[in-house]
Amino acid sequence: MTPNIKLSCRNVWKLYGADPDRFLRSNPAPSTDDIRKAGIIGAVRNASIDIAEGEIFVIMGLSGSGKSTLVRCLSRLIEPTGGEVLFDGVDLLSASDAEMIEIRRHKLGMVFQHFALLPHLTVLQNVVFPLTVQAAQKNEALTKAREVVDLVGLRGREDYYPRELSGGQQQRVGIARSLVAEPDLWFLDEPFSALDPLIRREMQDEFLSLQARLHKTIVFITHDFDEAVRLADRIAIMKDGEIIQIATPEELVVNPATDYVEEFTRHIPRSKVLTAGGLMTRGGSGSGEPVPQSARISDIAERIIVADSPVPVTDIDGQIVGSIDRLAVAKVLFGEGAGE
C-alpha cells in the first residue's frame, strides 16, 4: 500500500547574502563554487523529502548542517528562497499570512529545545493557552487541557508554576501545550537536548508511548544518532545544507551513501540498529516462538543465542518469512555484523 504523503518539499533553498532571490532566479541550480563565489551562504540547498502520514521522520546533522533551518522552512517560520512545500497537497508558500496563522493554530504543533513557557501562568494555564487564542469555549478548553496534562504524566501539578517544575516536567508542559490543539503535523526541534541523560531517556520513552497512542506525523530534529535510532522510522542526514541520504536507521548503517554517512554512523552499536529482518535467512525454517522482523538484535540477542535451532521470523501480518540463528547474531555482537 502506498503511504499517504502528509508533507513534502521539492527543491527547497534557503540562501543568505546580497539579494539571494535574484541570485537563485539567475542560477536555479547553483553549485557549491557558484554559491561561494557569489558570497552567498547556502543554509539549505536543493532539499527534497516526502514524509508519510503517521511517520516519525528525523532530520539530523552536526551543528550548522541546516537541519533547523530546513524545519523552519517547512513550517514557514522563515521564507525559503526557492522551492515548494506541500502540506496535505496545499502549497504553503502560496498561503497568505492569515491562512498560515490558521494552519499553525489548528494543524501544526511545535516544540523547541527551550521550553518557552509563560512563567506567570500555571501548568494548566500554559497548556490551555493555544485554545484560548483559538477562542475555544472555556469549559471545553479546560477539559481538553486537563486530558492532555494527564496524557503527559503531570496530573496533580496543574496548579504549579514553571519555576516549581524540573526540566523534564517543563518539557512535558511544552509537549502538552503543542498537543492540545490536536495538530495534524508535529515539529520537534531538539526538544530533549537540554535535559540530563536519565531524564532525556525517560522523555524519549514517553514520546514513543504518546506516538503509539496518537499516531502523529512528526518531524524531529536531533544531532544524537542514538536518539534518532530509538525514535525514527526514517532519517535524513544533512551536511552543509544538503540532504546526503534518507533511509531507515538500519539502511544507513548497512548501506551508507557516502563516506560522511559511514563515519557519522561508525560508532553506533550494530545490535541497536540491525533487525531480525535484516539478518534473517529468507524462507529458512525455524522452531520455537517467532520474533518480528522489526525486532532490534539488542532486544532478542540472548534469546537467539541460547536457542538450540534457528528461530522463525514473522512479518507485520504474523506470517513466517524466514529464520535467524545464533551465528548471525554473534557476528553482530562481536563486530562482524551485516554490511561490514
CATH number for the domain that contains residue 69: 3.40.50.300
Residues 156 and 258 reside in one and the same domain: yes
Position 269 scores a pLDDT of 85
Query: Count of domains in the chain?
Result: 2
Residues 164 and 288 reside in one and the same domain: no
Residue range 5-34: average pLDDT?
Answer: 94
Position 102 scores a pLDDT of 87
Position 339 scores a pLDDT of 42
Residues 114 and 256 reside in one and the same domain: yes
Asked, for residue 58, whether it belongs to a domain, the answer is yes
Asked, for residue 13, whether it belongs to a domain, the answer is no
**pLDDT band per the 50, 70, 90 thresholds, residue 288:** confident
Residues 243 and 313 reside in one and the same domain: no
* Domain extent at residue 294: 271-333
pLDDT at 39 over 80: yes
Given 249, 264, 279, the domain boundary residue is 264
- For the stretch 98-135, pLDDT in tens is 999 889 888 988 887 776 789 999 999 999 998 888 87
Given 235, 264, 293, the domain boundary residue is 264
Asked, for residue 119, whether it belongs to a domain, the answer is yes
Position 2 scores a pLDDT of 66
Residue range 217-229: average pLDDT?
Answer: 91
- The CATH number for 275's domain is 3.10.580.10
Residues 300 and 186 reside in one and the same domain: no
Handedness of CA 187, 193, 197, 198 (dihedral sign): negative
Burial class (CB in 10 A: 0-12, 13-18, 19+), 298: middle
- For the stretch 289-312, pLDDT in tens is 999 999 999 999 999 999 989 999
Beta strands 320-324 and 281-282 are antiparallel
- For the stretch 60-95, pLDDT in tens is 998 899 999 999 999 999 999 999 999 999 999 999
Asked, for residue 145, whether it belongs to a domain, the answer is yes
Residues 260 and 312 reside in one and the same domain: no
Asked, for residue 10, whether it belongs to a domain, the answer is no
Residues 181 and 308 reside in one and the same domain: no
Residues 152 and 55 reside in one and the same domain: yes
Residue % of the chain over a pLDDT of 90: 59
Which secondary structure element, helix H or strand E, spans residue 26, and what is its range? helix 20-26
Neighbours of 246 (CB within 10 A): 18
**pLDDT band per the 50, 70, 90 thresholds, residue 337:** very low
Given 264, 287, 320, the domain boundary residue is 264
Asked, for residue 23, whether it belongs to a domain, the answer is no
Residues 178 and 287 reside in one and the same domain: no
Handedness of CA 8, 10, 11, 13 (dihedral sign): negative
Q: Comparing C-alpha atoms, which of 66, 54, 62 is closest to residue 3?
A: 54
> Can you give the pTM of this predicted structure?
0.85
Asked, for residue 75, whether it belongs to a domain, the answer is yes
Residues 212 and 66 reside in one and the same domain: yes
Long-range contacts of 163-172 (CB under 8 A, 24+ apart): 163/119, 165/123, 166/199, 167/194, 167/195, 167/196, 167/199, 168/195, 168/196, 168/199, 168/202, 168/203, 170/115, 170/117, 171/111, 171/115, 171/195, 171/203, 172/203, 172/206
pLDDT at 336 over 60: no
Residues 260 and 138 reside in one and the same domain: yes
- For the stretch 184-216, pLDDT in tens is 999 998 888 877 888 788 888 888 988 888 899
Residues 279 and 258 reside in one and the same domain: no
Q: Comparing C-alpha atoms, which of 1, 316, 76, 58 is closest to residue 207?
A: 58
Position 74 scores a pLDDT of 94
Asked, for residue 34, whether it belongs to a domain, the answer is no
| Dihedrals phi, psi of 328, to nearest 5 degrees | -60, -40
